[in-house]
Structure 1
Amino acid sequence: MNSSKKDRIDSLAASSARGAPAAAGGSDSSVAVADAGRIDSGEGVSLLASAWSRLRRNPLFLFGAFITLSFVVLAIISPWIAPHDPTAQDLYPQIRQQTNPIPGPQPGYVLGGDWFGRDLLSRLMVGSRQTLIVGVLATLGGLFGGLVLGTLAGAFGGWVDALVMRIVDVMLSIPSLLMAFSIAAIFANPSQWTVILAIAIVQIPIFARLLRGSMIAQRYSDHVLAARALGVKKAPIVFRHMLPNALGPVIVQATLVLAVAIIDAAALSFLGLGNPDDRLPEWGQMLGASQQYLAGFPHLAFYPAACIIVVALGFTLMGESLREALDPKTRR
């Protein structure tokens, strides 16, 4: 009996080593001893690749990216594809102050003209470039200022963090449009650059607070603690380990802020604080200048307002989709 049990045990051990099914004891299959604890896995996927795999299946992201890409392409090539010179007063002979102050649509002028007889469609197309420039430069200015303040607060902590955050809290306590209006009103001669500067300053506390939170989360991460244990100096830790890993949420926020910057620029231009020179059309400027004809000719305000809304929607959809794809808590 003992000999038969020993032979049975040896047989089971040999079967397990070869990965063969057990000779007795049912139909359960066995795993080879050498393969115990091993799992089948493919090649690892980076965070960006994983996010892209979700984004390309997200219809909201694709729709927002289509609007954004179309807007950027139009802004680049608009001076060459515009049907007419946006400054030429081709329809001015048709203007009659009492009977026909605004030329209507006609062959060659799909949307008609404005109060100076300039082609409205051409001005909308060329105005996309100035709108893009204002939005991008204002966002980049706010991003740079936020990076400086957020890095100081998140890297040093202590009294530096307290000082920076109190400044940020004061700026956030003022409504953004009111603060932008106040900053733009300081300048005696309003221009496109005053609008960019005013909006950039308003956006700084948003980026600063977000980056500071990301930097604090990185401060106690494993790779930062390991770098400190190895004796790496503070500056390389901040700029090579903490800051690059904290920029993801800030970059996503920039796409959302860009839409807000375009709307704020239009608001400042509507209030008369934009560029007074309308030889370079801009959607917000066109919207503000059309208010005197709003009662009788609402299309002069509708077209630039619709362009602003659609572009802002595109950036917002794209930014929200990016945030959901990169945020582990909201990934779909």
Structure 2
Amino acid sequence: MTPTHRDARDPGTKGPRGLGSRKKERIDELAATAGASGPVDEAGAIDDTAGVSLIASAWRRLRRSPVFLVGLAITIAFVVLAIVSSWLAPHDPGEWLLYDKVSPQSNPIPGPEPGFPLGADDKGRDLLSRLLVGSRQTLIVGVCATLFGLAGGLVLGTLAGAFSGWVDSVIMRIVDVMLSIPSLLLAFSISAVASRPSQWTLIIAIAIVQIPIFARLLRGSMLAQRSKDHVLAARALGVKKSAIVLRHMLPNSLGPVIVQATLVLATAIIDAAALSFLGLGNPDDRNPEWGQMLGRAQTYIYDHPHLAFYPAICIIIVALGFTLMGESLREALDPKSRR
């Protein structure tokens, strides 16, 4: 027997079989060092482990994000405070409790005293109670305006994304015209048309301003869904177009729109405060709202700035909370920003 044949059969020699055995042992050692549970039996083998959904993956990043946690804490505190504000308020926000202490010459604004930690306004109404109850009105305006704007945007965005041709062109040109006008100016113009300003005219004006934002975003998401494999497969199987749009395209396009709603809610609160400050909100000051309180405080801004400071800082903190939470959600759900 020749040496060449002996090396080929004997694993302990330097032949091809011996070299392959030593390579496999080396690979097993490296795999064990890297934390593998056993030797590598087959090149390219993948462990059969369960996958992680997009929501679960996003939540893993969000719960470690201090920015999201701060925004979530502010948002939850604001919502809970708005719900229980009627029970937390120490006095009736519309009752003139300290009016006998109001003197236009010497004491136009009563200061803090027992039972009134923040003092009162120019009519002797408890400032703390008005701030607490005003949070509920601010939440109602912001949430209702965002929901109405989201509903209108869903209708226009779905029509534009599902149909091409003249339907898409007409809707997008209307959206472009609305987006070309500054949002606050457009909301001001819509509110000024109403014969009598009220809380509902404020909600409608802000909702109309938000509609094109949702419509354009949803249209873009639905256009991206039109070329997906599951949509093409449904078309090949002869599924009706309405079923494809409502069951396949629309549900998979709502993620960015819902995230945008949290950011729009912060904008809606600021716009509502601005319109109320200009006198286009609810004229009945027995139901206080933070923007309305800012408008009434401008008369005493130099001598008693705290009347404007308290509602202003409340608006800033709440808007900041929704913004931090919305930005964190958008980054967590965006595949390009994952680390």
Fold agreement, TM-score > 0.5: yes
Q: Which runs of 5+ in 1 are unaligned?
A: none
CA distance in 1, matches of 2:277, 2:294: 6
- What residue number does 2:59 align with? 52
Letter in 1 for 2:110: P
Deviation at 1:117, TM superposition (A): 0.4
Please show how residues 9-28 of structure 1 align to structure 2 within 5 Å.
23-24=21-22, 28=26
1:183-194 correspondence runs (5 A): 183-194=190-201
1:259 pairs, out of 257, 266, 287, with: 266
Q: Tell me the distance in 2 between the aligned counterparts of 1:282 and 1:160.
A: 41
Task: State the partner residue of 2:303.
Answer: 296
> Deviation per CA, 1:65-92, whole angstroms, max 9, x where unpaired?
1100000000000100111111121111
Q: Tell which deviates more after alignment, 23-32 or 33-42.
A: 23-32
Give the AA of the match of 1:287: L
Deviation readout 1:259-307 (Å, 9 max, x if unpaired): 0000000010011100000111111111112111212211111111110
The percentage of aligned residue pairs carrying the same residue is 71
- Is contact 1:135-1:261 (8 Å) kept? yes
How far apart are residue 34 of structure 1 and its match?
Answer: 6.0
Is the CA contact (8 Å cut-off) linking 1:11 and 1:23 kept in structure 2?
no
Residue in structure 2 matching 1:325, options 323, 332, 335: 332
- Matched with 1:7 is 9
| Cα deviation digits, residues 147-201 of structure 1 (max 9, x gap) | 0000011111211111100000000111101100000000111000000000000
Map 1:147-186 → 2, pairs under 5 A: 147-186=154-193
Secondary structure of 2:250's aligned partner: helix
Q: Give the secondary structure class of the aligned counterpart of 2:27.
A: coil
CA distance in structure 2 between the partners assigned to 1:50 and 1:142 by the alignment? 29
Q: Pick one of 282, 287, 307 that aligns with 2:289.
A: 282
What secondary structure sits across from 1:226 in the alignment? helix
CA distance in 2, matches of 1:71, 1:204: 25
Distance 2:134 2:116 in 1: 17
Please, which runs of 5 or more residues in structure 2 have no aligned partner?
29-37
> How far 1:28 moved relative to its partner?
2.1
Alignment equivalent of 1:230, drawn from 225, 234, 237: 237
2:228 to 215, 221, 227: 221
Match of 1:207 in 2: 214
Q: Which amino acid aligns with 1:165?
A: M
Matched, 1:88 2:95: yes
RMSD: 2.2
Q: Which amino acid aligns with 1:245?
A: N
TM-score (norm 1): 0.93
Deviation at 1:32, TM superposition (A): 7.6
1:22–1:29 CA contact under 8 A, matched in 2? no
Measure, in 2, the Cα distance between the counterparts of 1:192 and 1:242.
36
Equivalent-residue separation in structure 2 for 1:29 and 1:4 (angstroms): 25
Pair 1:331–1:37, CA change in 2 (3 A): closer
Return the letter of the residue paired with 1:301. Answer: A
Q: Aligned residue pairs: how many? A: 326
Indicate the residue corresponding to 1:62 in structure 2: 69
Structure 1 counterpart SS, 2:26: coil
The code of the aligned residue for 2:219 comes to: R
Contact 1:256 1:316 in 2 (8 A): yes
Using the TM superposition, give the Cα deviation of residue 5 of structure 1 relative to its aligned residue in structure 2, in angstroms.
Answer: 4.5
Of 119, 123, 126, which aligns to 1:119?
A: 126
For residues 74 and 282 of structure 2, the distance between their equivalents in structure 1, rounded to whole angstroms, comes to 26
State the Cα distance separating 1:22 from its structure 2 match.
5.5
- Provide the secondary structure at the position in 2 that maps to 1:129: helix
Determine the C-alpha separation between the residues in 1 that align with 2:43 and 2:203.
Answer: 63
Verify the 8 A CA contact 2:86 2:133 in the aligned structure 1: yes
2:35 matched residue in structure 1: none
SS of 1:102's equivalent in the other structure is coil
Which of 278, 292, 315 does residue 271 from structure 1 map onto?
278
